[in-house]
Structure 1
């Protein structure tokens, strides 16, 4: 956008993004003095009535919504032929970027995000608005973990006019409900399907269906089962997988009736009594007498591996009698197989499993988690190791490595943090008193002091550091020894003749012998007047230590001269 001021109010600062229809800028609202995001319809689409109507539809849909998990709309308008929407500026990243950076999220975090998404979807559906493009790219994550749903660009009021047939399948193909791929009208269940796919991606780090072309992905959504979340991420309980199975059922009649039902399920899915509930199973009969039409699937910037394709699967008329007999036989066989399966006769036994990620857990929690997967934590062979950042008692590494395929019943070895390591300072060349002060922060370090005669190193300076040398790693929670060898201090005898000398001469004499001197006025408050009259001004009256006694000059010590 060439003009950096919109309507004389919004000062454009920088361009931050681009979508299929619009550019997004950060701007300053000069009236309210706040940062805002401004979405501007691309110039080449401003003359396209359908694009303009879609853009206005987003504005209308968004302004009617008020919810903590939906981005706020502040202003809508047109300036010099440019249609724009002014909205809340959310600092952070979108959910797709978060997944790309971190991979699969832990189940608690994923459930929390889904609760917020469902809450936002409930608000939209209660207002009669179907989003139709729910995907991680349209979910912003604030730094405090709050999420904001954005981009109602193809949202449609339930009673609104459908602009084109492709409107029904404009959403990103990776999150496309089967009925939308067939060209049917979007419903609340279409958004619920997309929520289920987003939940899947949060827990696995990837979408369930991928292919070279968009039409192939759309066909997968119509005919293929969603891969098991638990096979990819064994830490996911059955209660969570059941939510995904129900939300992504091919037959929308099997899905949650509304987003509130899904939210209610999310609120209890982490309870202990639900972890091992029975797996949901939904069948989806194919409608063989209907032509499945996949109109041109719109390619978005996120679907980089896909090509827009218009494809119609041709309809062939089949004599019903050709298939009645075989179909009945198949149904009978299927029924028998089903009965045998639920009785356990034909249920294939799983013999291998991937090692789950138990890093960061304590041994007890990890042992319980492994037992649920029929794996054994070898508690007799635990290795303990100091680390730079892992708290004491938490697992650092696993053998075999995480995601390695192992036999059921295999033993898993772990390395556990014995504490966060400290690194010893270098005290050589420092004063002994300084080293002692610094070592006070390690109460478990026992200091051994050794003096040594040295003609090269000043008295009181550390010559060598032993047992715990400079930069050596140690456990501050365990008793440890350090030996500090320092240059021997000077020992003198306080001269007898110092008493009666002037304080200037006495100070010079003691300093010449290597002693530090401190002058102090004698307290005469307890003396009689006669005693005070016998005192001479500026003359040494007494010393501490007393004259004739030995004195060792150490750091911070002094010979105190008292005078009147």
Structure 2
């Protein structure tokens, strides 16, 4: 359900600072930024709990297709509840700016863990087990996870996996264009996705395998800076035997 703010006093600044409010969420601090918007740690003043708040940019530089892709995915995520899926609390709008309020999970994403060297093969197995449980929940609800990449997988300090399931699509939906997606996302897509073919649950199994297979940070068998190269490697390359 969307919430349209009427009190413009809460959003006077283009990019709110600590202490300002977006709807009923009070900004604590900025934690990051992407090409689509600013990410904040905030407090829900109604429930008195911490949340992660993504506030999208209003200007014309925002990629409208990817932005809508994320918003649609977040709205679908409102319907799914699972301990290994990052909860989405609200998808709303303040003035002309969309925002997503979601569960705050403190930890590191899978890519950061691998680069730090703080993950063992046993740890990967446990992460994979929890991810499989999350993906099964999506499949049981006739949903697919399209954005299954290491950056979307958070491992909390208590070693609980939280998959940020934005980008979910209906299994009955036809495929869309991936031309605007960056190479690091394309690298984890199945060949069917890359070739714009119809996909089903097996596509997620492929992405899950690529994402969770132990690899060195410098291993580039599926990755490249250019999307076309990533696509070619994903389709033609084979994992090395160990």
Provide the rounded CA distance (Å) in 2 between the counterparts of 1:44 and 1:222.
36
Selected match of 1:166 from 160, 174, 178:
178
Residue 159 of structure 1 deviates from its aligned partner by 2.6
Provide the rounded CA distance (Å) in 2 between the counterparts of 1:213 and 1:49.
21
Residue 101 of structure 1 deviates from its aligned partner by 0.4
Provide the rounded CA distance (Å) in 1 between the counterparts of 2:120 and 2:41.
32
| Partner-residue secondary structure (3-state), 2:125 | helix
User: Is 1:135 matched up with 2:135?
Assistant: no
Provide the rounded CA distance (Å) in 2 between the counterparts of 1:75 and 1:102.
35
Q: Deviations over 1:357-382 (max 9, x none)?
A: xxxxxxxxxxxxxxxxxxxxxxxxxx
Partner residue in 1 for 2:158: 144
Q: Deviations over 1:458-514 (max 9, x none)?
A: xxxxxxxxxxxxxxxxxxxxxxxxxxxxxxxxxxxxxxxxxxxxxxxxxxxxxxxxx
Partner residue in 2 for 1:456: none
User: Is 1:24 matched up with 2:39?
Assistant: yes
User: Is 1:102 matched up with 2:117?
Assistant: yes
User: Is 1:175 matched up with 2:188?
Assistant: yes
**TM-score, structure 2 normalization:** 0.82
**Ranges in structure 2 where 5+ consecutive residues have no aligned partner:** 1-13
User: Is 1:213 matched up with 2:226?
Assistant: yes
- Report the CA distance shift for 1:167/1:122 in structure 2 as closer, same or farther (over 3 A): farther
Aligned runs of 1:112-511 on 2, under 5 Å? 112-152=126-166, 154-160=167-173, 164-166=176-178, 172-200=185-213, 202-205=214-217, 206=219, 208-211=221-224, 213-228=226-241, 230=242
For the 8 Å contact 2:41–2:52, the answer to whether it is kept is yes
| Partner-residue secondary structure (3-state), 1:190 | helix
Residue 212 of structure 1 deviates from its aligned partner by 5.0
Partner residue in 2 for 1:252: none
Partner residue in 2 for 1:64: 79
- Report the CA distance shift for 1:180/1:89 in structure 2 as closer, same or farther (over 3 A): same
Provide the rounded CA distance (Å) in 1 between the counterparts of 2:98 and 2:79.
18
Aligned residues: 224
Provide the rounded CA distance (Å) in 2 between the counterparts of 1:95 and 1:149.
10
Deviates more, 1:119-128 or 1:37-46: 37-46
For the 8 Å contact 1:72–1:87, the answer to whether it is kept is yes
For the 8 Å contact 1:37–1:86, the answer to whether it is kept is yes
Partner residue in 2 for 1:5: 21
For the 8 Å contact 2:188–2:222, the answer to whether it is kept is no
Provide the rounded CA distance (Å) in 2 between the counterparts of 1:174 and 1:95.
15
Partner residue in 2 for 1:529: none
RMSD value over aligned CA atoms?
A: 2.5
| Partner-residue secondary structure (3-state), 2:187 | helix
Residue 46 of structure 1 deviates from its aligned partner by 9.4
Partner residue in 2 for 1:35: 50
**Ranges in structure 1 where 5+ consecutive residues have no aligned partner:** 231-564
